[in-house]
Amino acid sequence: MQVAWDFFQRQILGMAWLNSAIGSGLIGIGLDIAGRIGASIQFFLFDMIKILVLLSVLIFIISYIQSHFPPEKTKKILGRFKGIGANIVSALLGTVTPFCSCSSIPIFIGFTNAGLPVGVTFSFLISSPLVDLGALVLLVSVFGARIAIAYVVMGLVLAVAGGTLIDKLGMEQYVERFNAIKKIATIEVPELKRKDRLLYAKEQTLETVKRVWVYVLVGVGIGALIHNWIPTEWIQLVLGKNNPFSVLIATAVGIPMYADIFGTIPVAEALFFKEVGVGTILSFMMAVTALSLPSMIMLKKVLKTKLLVTFIGIVSVGIIVIGYTFNALGFLFV
């Protein structure tokens, strides 16, 4: 059983055979893959292809699943839950909901006007970019199942706790009131046939690859740099296990940046290879995806500054805590 799983992880998800094939190909055209340039090219090609292929397959499957969960339907589902249960369901649904920064405002308004507590909406908004089914599978290929599952669980915990905390702090008053909206229509959510779902999945796949490949390219580029060009000592100095500030640095760097989670994976791979702590890497990935300048600008339109700052503060602190915890407990996973 273990052998079968290892095979799956290394060859199917990890595509180790592809790496070998590319390596052989490069040697064939005279490149020295043990040298820096050769190794960089090998890493670059391998990672690019691997991620794009996995990305396409995963997005397709997951979009198919996601076609069952448009936010309009989520709004109705969430109306039936109360208390922390609502936050938990919200965080879970956020995971399976396709996310686009420009949805965040209509979703926020829609949920709030449907009577859902502000915290429940935040649980959704935190988990949506942070935890992604597709990324989960990719994480398994890079870090193994244990770390991947830990990332997802921690992301959900952060989403639920963050949302609940925002409610408990009574932050509802800091949501901009939209006087223009008297009544929000509840639209009929059409039941899709299988053909529609397959079509939707295909559209989402094409559109996501188009949107995301640049991030993957940059991510793989940075990953290659880290892998082969930046001395391990430098990385160790700033982000290594002996630097008590590594999590803080990783988080601080990640927050203003935005990259699709698929773009962060090659960077995470490379950092992992250079023996950066698991917690530090997770913090970086979470900071990049959960918070970003574009989404903060969008949220500024619906939230008063105090709430926005609280939101950013809670998520940041949560990410940092998760980072340090994982660094401390890292030995359990690797």
Partner 1 sequence: MTIKVLGACCRKSKETFENTKLAIQQLGLEATVENIGDMAEIASYGVMTTPALVIDDQVVSFGKFLSKDDAVKIISKIARQ
Q: Which residues bind partner 1 (CB under 8 A)?
A: 70-72, 75, 98, 100-103, 105-107, 109-110, 113, 178, 180-187, 200, 203, 207, 301-302
Closer residue to partner 1, CB minimum distance, 76 or 146: 76
Tokens of 13: 């998800």
Judged by beta carbon, residue 3 or residue 180, the one nearer partner 1 is 180
Separation CA 88–CA 91 (nearest Å): 5
CA 20 to the chain's CA centroid: 29
- Residue with smaller CB distance to partner 1, 6 or 203: 203
CB of 274 to partner 1, least distance (A): 36
Of residues 200 and 273, the one with the C-beta less far from partner 1: 200
CB contact set of 83 (below 8 Å; sequence gap of 6+): none
Smallest gap, in angstroms, from Cβ of residue 80 to partner 1? Answer: 18
CB-nearer residue toward partner 1: 124 or 272: 124
Closer to partner 1 by CB, 173 or 186: give it: 186
CB of 144 to partner 1, least distance (A): 34
CB-based contact 74:190 (threshold 8 Å):
no
Nearest-approach distance from CB 133 to partner 1, in angstroms? 18
Nearer to partner 1, 20 or 186 (CB): 186
What would the two tokens of residue 184 be? Answer: 């929000």
CB of 106 to partner 1, least distance (A): 5
Q: What is the rounded CA–CA span in Å between residue 156 and residue 162?
A: 10
- C-alpha span between 83 and 85 (Å, rounded): 5
Closest approach, Cβ 244 to partner 1, in A, equals 41
Task: Pick the closer one to partner 1 by CB: 11 or 186.
Answer: 186
Smaller CB separation from partner 1, 46 or 215: 215
Q: How many CB atoms lie within 10 A of CB 330?
A: 15
H or E, element range at 112: helix 104-113
First to last CA, the chain: 19
Angle between the 104-113 and 293-300 helix axes, to the nearest 10 degrees? 40
HSE at residue 247, side-chain half, CA atoms within 13 A, is 20
The torsion of the CA quartet 168, 279, 308, 114, rounded to 10 degrees, works out to -60
Q: Are the beta carbons of 246 and 277 closer than 8 angstroms?
A: yes
Residue 209: CA count within 13 A, CB half-sphere: 17
Closest contact distance (angstroms) between CB of 180 and partner 1 is: 5
Cβ at position 146, least distance to partner 1 in Å = 34
Closest distance to partner 1 from the beta carbon of 236 (Å): 40
CA 220 to CA 270: how far, in whole Å? 9
Beta bridge partners, 175, equal 303
Contact 222, 264 (CB under 8 A): no
